[in-house]
Amino acid sequence: MPAAKEKSQPVATQKIKMSINGMVCMACQSTVKKAIKSLDGVTNVEVSLENKNAIVTYYPNLVKLEQIQKAVNDKGYTAGKPQEVKQ
């Protein structure tokens, strides 16, 4: 008799806000957004040039905070420490 498949519980998304230093124009904002959005597991990205931050919604089982920060840093910007945003 085949083993019963365990139903995996869907993992809830998490939302974080982090500062982004080094953005000076709309092209910078777009570059940061594309870099974060390209990561598997990221579902939504809002980047604010005015507030110099990003709000990212993601699946923590698919992408780690360090990967999100690295994506920003690899583009020449500086990602600050992420803070959880209550949904």
Spell out the domain ranges in the chain: 14-84
Whether residue 10 has pLDDT greater than 80: no
Query: Read out DSSP for the chain?
Result: -PPPPPPPPPPPPEEEEEEEES--SHHHHHHHHHHHHTSTTEEEEEEETTTTEEEEEE-TTT--HHHHHHHHHTTT-EE---EE---
pTM: 0.86
pLDDT of residue 86: 85
The CATH class of 14-84 is: alpha beta
Res. 48: pLDDT tops 70: yes
pLDDT score, position 11? 81
